[in-house]
Structure 1
Amino acid sequence: MSGSGGPAHVAIIMDGNGRWASMRGRPRLFGHHAGARRVREIVEACPDLGVEYLTIFGFSTENWKRTQIEVAGLMSLFRSYIRREARALRAQNVRVRFIGDRPGLDEKLQAQMDELEEMTEDCTGTNLTIALNYGGRDEVARATRRLAQDVAEGRLDPHKVDEETLPRYLDTYVLPDPDLVIRTSGEARISNFLLWQSAYAEYEFIDTLWPDFSKEIFADVVASYAGRDRRFGAVKG
């Protein structure tokens, strides 16, 4: 929790790019490019809103089911986004991390991801985490495999495994849990995003399509969070 009562960590399911493009008679990739441009504005808005951590859902493990043309276009977009934004992110003191099943992505993209993480590793401003080839169930499965291997090799006592143990094996082990999860485009589902981490997050489902999600809308959603009564399962006397 940030000092102002607002969310320190906001996670966003950036939905609606395809519909935004269709409404304009354009191909879906046109909407994805518009959505990528919107990311910069939201990242830049974080410091003034007290948001220290921003996690965005870029590409899910289920998105491979889309057409080959769209998937190829998205991969090209991710490569160009990293190439175009790298210096600006560093100049803005933004620390970038990627989560997801990285080996499932092409080697050139992986190399760019590694380079951007290294380029910004000493940045102390906003922590931007980008989920690529990410799925919450897949993340938990991968974490469980690593945990099981440590048990099998004697590095971990199975009797000491509790709900504090698994998070150390998740992709997000260095991040705090999200306080607020936003999904754009009017869909009211979480789509396999940060399943473990969002157990006590507040959710905001808004009708705005992602390319239209302005910093003003972001500020309004963050402000509304401050008025919520978060009890984490307890009852106030």
Structure 2
Amino acid sequence: MDGNGRWAQSRGKPRLFGHRAGARRVRQIVEACPDLGVKYLTIFAFSTENWKRTQAEVSGLMLLFRRYIQKETQALVDNGIRVRFIGDRVKLDKKLVGLMDELERVTAHNELVNMTVALNYGGRDEVARATKRLAEEVAAGRLKPEDVDEETLPHFLDTCVLPDPDLVIRTSGEARVSNFLLWQSAYSEYEFIDTLWPDFTPDIFAEVLAKYGTRERRFGAVPV
């Protein structure tokens, strides 16, 4: 969900103004998912690299995350949205982590849309943490080294209960993956669009999905 800061600055507003607009857009996109046939949606809210931003912006984002959860919890429950968080929670504020845990708990039985929020998430960090847990299993004798393969590692990833993404959408005109779901998106389709996230409407989302629907996914095979 890129472009919040630039969207705000183009309007003569502080960057946090754009982040607040981006949060409102999240709700609209999530609400559009059922009609668009989207069962799983993952949003990249804050990366492990985003700590490099100014302290004012980071603090403002953390406050925004807390307020968003507090404000949207009941609507998510009522609308059948199940929420999960991925990423390293150790560095996050304990109050925020408590809100995340509670939101996961109260939406655990929802099934209409599975919404995953990547918060303090980085693809390399995730693989490193998964590898550490896997190594601990081997050291404890619960897993044999020869049993470790590309089918084993995913069981230790943050997304172990989720399917790999079919489509990754990057907004704001940037054409890079920015450390997002590196393992999981090995065969995902990508769409890079110029639209800044606060301007990414459900109609644009529908257009991107329709374009994706025309693609032939071969997964390395030759069509017959």
Aligned-partner Cα distance in 2 for 1:188–1:44:
27
SS of 2:90's partner is: helix
Match of 1:184 among 166, 171, 174: 171
Aligned-partner Cα distance in 2 for 1:163–1:142:
16
The residue that corresponds to 2:15 in the other structure is 28
Q: Residue type of the partner of 1:127?
A: N
Deviation (angstroms), 1:160? 1.0
Task: Give the structure-1-normalised TM-score.
Answer: 0.94
For structure 2, the 5+ residue unaligned runs are: none
SS of 1:156's partner is: coil
Match of 1:156 among 132, 138, 143: 143
Count of residues paired in the alignment: 224
**What is the percentage of aligned positions where both structures have the same residue?**
74
For the pair 1:208 / 2:195, whether they are aligned, the reply is yes
Aligned-partner Cα distance in 2 for 1:157–1:92:
44
**What RMSD over aligned residues (CA atoms) do the two structures have, in Å?**
0.4
Partner deviation per Cα, 1:67-111 (whole Å, 9 max, x = no partner)? 000000000000000000000000000000000001110100000
Aligned-partner Cα distance in 2 for 1:137–1:47:
31
Aligned-partner Cα distance in 2 for 1:72–1:165:
37
For the pair 1:72 / 2:59, whether they are aligned, the reply is yes
The residue that corresponds to 1:97 in the other structure is 84
Q: Residue type of the partner of 1:31?
A: G
Match of 1:44 among 13, 16, 31: 31
Deviation (angstroms), 1:236? 1.1
Q: Residue type of the partner of 2:91?
A: G
The residue that corresponds to 2:216 in the other structure is 229
SS of 2:159's partner is: coil
Aligned-partner Cα distance in 2 for 1:203–1:65:
26
Partner deviation per Cα, 1:1-20 (whole Å, 9 max, x = no partner)? xxxxxxxxxxxxx0000000
The residue that corresponds to 2:112 in the other structure is 125
Relative CO higher for 1 or 2, CA cutoff 8 Å, sep ≥ 6?
1
For structure 1, the 5+ residue unaligned runs are: 1-13
Match of 1:137 among 121, 124, 137: 124
The residue that corresponds to 1:5 in the other structure is none
Aligned-partner Cα distance in 1 for 2:195–2:66:
26
Aligned-partner Cα distance in 2 for 1:73–1:116:
21
Task: Give the structure-2-normalised TM-score.
Answer: 0.99
